[in-house]
Amino acid sequence: MLGGAVTALLGLVFLLPALPFARRTAVREAARRLAVLEARRLRLDPAVLGLGAARPDGQELRYVAARLPVGVLGGLVGALLLVGVGTAGSLVWTWGRGLPFDGMLPTAPLLAYAALAGFVLLFLNLSGLVGVHALERRLAQRMLAPDPTEALRRRITELAESRAGVLVAVDAERRRIERDLHDGLQQRLVALSMLAGRARRGRTELLAQIHEQAQQAVGELREVAWRVYPSGLDSLGLADALAGVAERSSVPVKVVCELPARPPMAVETVSYFVVSEAVTNAAKHARATAVTVEVRENDTMVVVRVQDDGVGGADPAGGGLSGLARRVAALDGRFTVTSPVGGPTTITAQLPCA
């Protein structure tokens, strides 16, 4: 409650000179920052409360003003607790030395009365603290959370955007598969056909090359198939599928997959593609020498974190990373890329699994 009293005092100091200029953008932005500070103190997500930008209706300013009495109440309850604890400590110290407290010497009935009264007062005080905290959260949610109709409209917009993003990602993936087939496997099969034709005309020494080309074609076909969908993910699980990514990588990859239970299949699939794309980018573009993959469960989220020691400078708007962001957004997840010039690059995906 001390934090609430302090933020209430800050709000009062802010409101006194700011009220005459309430319509100014700078004042609204300052009120928004105070509201964000209060939301974080109450362990509320500022994004859920719509505090990403100052609102033109001045709702944040009204909230800062409305929470002043609640903050004062919390401060008073906290002060009473401190006074009670101090009084109890003084009482124990004085009676423990056999001295009178307020003219009273300790007796059995008096000790029982003091202990009972102290316990009741402590219970009431702690209940008051819990009540004030609940009141503060309720006030913040009531005054800052968007209107249910507006929240539903935003949700529909988000779903429409994520759906469009998924379609774009699917089209981009199809184009990449077609390019891989045309530039890689198709040319290798043409070369294989030409070698077979020459071998039929008596060039038996070409049979070894045909065999090698056929093996390479099968390997490329298997790689393309894994890019479409890793078949081993269904039977082996995410940990083994990621181990396969590490084995096929041209740079050393350390995989730590600690999940108490298998997440939903959609979460496993997106997690796999996030790791696969991140490892591929690290090998092809970042000139990395080592990659670390961590997959862990945090509350109701599966957190996928991939970090390499490359040169950094990855563009989140690039084709591969933007496609991953759309995949994650389709599951209502969060996708972040941190890649300063010089490295390291860290890609994090948070996927809800409940």
Which position has the token pair 């300013």? 61
Fold of 235-352: Heat Shock Protein 90 (3.30.565)
Mutual angle of helices 108-144 and 68-96, in 10-degree steps: 160
| Residue-range domain boundaries for the chain | 1-145, 170-228, 235-352
Q: Tell me if residue 208 falls in helix, strand or coil.
A: helix
Identity of the residue numbered 210? I
Distance CA 137, CA 145 (A): 11
- What is the residue-level pLDDT of the chain in tens, covering all 354 positions? 566 777 777 777 777 787 777 778 888 888 888 888 888 888 887 877 777 776 777 788 888 888 888 888 888 888 888 888 888 888 888 888 878 887 788 888 888 888 898 899 889 888 988 898 888 888 888 888 776 776 677 767 766 666 666 656 665 666 666 666 666 666 666 666 666 666 666 666 666 676 676 666 666 666 665 555 666 677 778 888 888 888 888 899 999 998 888 888 888 888 988 998 888 888 888 888 899 999 999 888 899 999 999 888 888 877 678 878 888 888 888 899 998 888 889 999 999 886
**H/E element, 110:** helix 108-144
What is the model's pLDDT at position 47?
75
Alpha carbon separation from 125 to 5, 75, 80, 82, 122 (Å, rounded): 16, 12, 8, 10, 5
Q: Residue 280: how many CB atoms within 10 A of its CB?
A: 16
- What tens digit of pLDDT does each residue of 45-63 get? 787 777 777 677 778 888 8
Per-residue pLDDT of 132-183, as tens digits, reads 888 888 888 888 877 677 667 776 776 666 666 665 666 566 666 666 666 6
Q: What pTM was estimated for this model as a whole?
A: 0.50
Task: Tell me whether the omega of the peptide bond preceding residue 263 falls within 30 degrees of 0, making it cis.
Answer: no
Write phi, then psi, for 235 (nearest 5 degrees).
-90, -35
DSSP 104: B
DSSP letter for each residue of 6-17: HHHHHHHHHHHH
State the pLDDT at residue 215.
67
> What is d(CA 333, CA 166) in angstroms, rounded to the nearest whole number?
13
Q: Are 139 and 70 in contact (CB under 8 A)?
A: yes
